[in-house]
């Protein structure tokens, strides 16, 4: 079966509306895991996790990777079907209530990651970046920024793949793994900001 790399069906996006499913996918993006492994990782009841794992498998967002005996039973290990991008058309057709749930879930994850990183010195690197701008754009300008943002995300994924290849070649005692998060957002504020440009940056380059 060909991996899902782009969601172009609004029904698949609805399948992601439950925040627990998003958290499950986050785990399986980086590793193969069983429902019990996932439940322990995200601190959720195993029954709930198993239910949502089956739902994600039914719509093709995750797939069975392997099975292995464990504690007298056959444990099933799953992996993400592939890196997923939601198409503009599909997102436009999703009901507002579903969009709101997905946005809330994504923002909660970003806020938690950033807050935890800040407390642990995650922004101490001289090349770390924390920036925000308030922009006045026409429709053409908004679309132009959306396009270069997508290009940035695709390039970031390419760089991650290149990093993984170098680490694989170097072996377990090679390159240090830098756990990082890149959060990119472009959205309409709906009202004027208190300043024409608001920026806070730690980029020293």
Read off the pLDDT band of 191 (50, 70, 90): low
DSSP 100-166: HHHHHHHHHHHHHHHHHHHHTTTT-STT-----------HHHHHHHHHHHHHHHHHHHHHHHHHHHH
| 143 and 191 co-located in one domain | yes
- 159 in a structural domain: yes
- Identify the three-state secondary structure at position 21: helix
Domain count, the chain: 2
Q: How much is the pTM?
A: 0.59
- The predicted pLDDT at position 9 comes to 61
DSSP run (H or E) holding 34: none
Residue 147 lies in a domain: yes
What pLDDT, on a 0 to 100 scale, did the predictor assign at position 104? 78
Q: 5, 189, 18, 184: which is closest to 107 by C-alpha?
A: 184
Arithmetic mean of pLDDT, 139-158? 92
Does 197 have pLDDT greater than 50?
no
Helix axis angle, 19-30 to 96-119, nearest 10°? 50
Tell me the pLDDT band of 59, cut-offs 50, 70 and 90: confident
- Is residue 138 one of the residues assigned to a domain? yes
Q: pLDDT value at position 102?
A: 72
Q: Concatenated DSSP letters for 41-107?
A: HHT--HHHHHHHHHHHHHTTSEEEEEEEEETTEEEEEEEESS--EE-HHHHHHS-HHHHHHHHHHHH
31-57 pLDDT, tens per residue? 899 999 999 988 999 999 999 999 888
Asked if 47 and 125 sit in the same domain, the reply is no
Claim to verify: residue 130 and residue 75 sit in the same structural domain: no
Q: Is the pLDDT of residue 70 over 60?
A: yes
**pLDDT above 70 covers what percent of the chain?**
80
Give the span between the Cα atoms of 35 and 77, in whole angstroms. 7
Among 86, 111, 136, the domain-final residue is 86
Residue 122 pLDDT more than 70? Answer: yes
pLDDT surpasses 60 at 23:
yes
Domain annotation covers residue 91: no
Residue 140 within any structural domain of the chain: yes
| Residue 59 belongs to some domain of the structure | yes
Q: Choose the final residue of a domain: 65, 86, 107.
A: 86
Same domain, 81 and 130: no
Say if 203 falls within a structural domain.
yes
Residue 6: CB partners within 8 Å, gap ≥ 6? 84, 85, 86, 87
CATH number at residue 63: 1.10.10.10
Q: What is the mean pLDDT of residues 161-188?
A: 85
Q: What is the span of the domain harbouring residue 145? A: 121-205
Summarize the confidence of residues 58-87 as an average pLDDT.
82
Question: What stretch of H or E contains 29?
Answer: helix 19-30
Within this chain, do residues 21 and 72 fall inside the same structural domain, yes or no?
Answer: yes
């Amino acid at each position: 079966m060909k991996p899902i790399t782009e969601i172009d069906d609004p029904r698949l996006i609805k399948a992601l509306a439950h925040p627990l499913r998003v958290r499950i996918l986050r785990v399986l993006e980086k590793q193969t895991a069983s429902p019990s492994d996932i439940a322990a990782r995200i601190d959720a009841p195993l029954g709930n996790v198993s239910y949502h794992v089956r739902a994600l498998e039914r719509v093709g967002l995750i797939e069975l990777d392997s099975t292995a005996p464990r504690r007298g039973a056959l444990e099933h290990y799953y992996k993400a079907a592939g890196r997923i991008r939601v198409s503009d058309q599909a997102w436009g057709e999703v009901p507002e209530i579903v969009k709101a749930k997905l946005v809330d879930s994504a923002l909660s994850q970003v806020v938690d990651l950033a807050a935890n990183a800040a407390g642990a010195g995650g922004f101490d690197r001289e090349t770390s970046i924390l920036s925000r701008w308030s922009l006045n754009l026409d429709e053409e300008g908004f679309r132009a920024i959306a396009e270069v943002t997508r290009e940035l995300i695709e390039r970031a994924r390419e760089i991650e793949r290149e990093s993984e290849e170098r680490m694989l070649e170097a072996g377990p005692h090679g390159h240090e793994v830098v756990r990082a998060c890149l959060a990119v957002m472009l959205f309409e504020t709906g009202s004027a900001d208190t300043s024409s440009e608001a920026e806070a940056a730690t980029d020293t380059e």
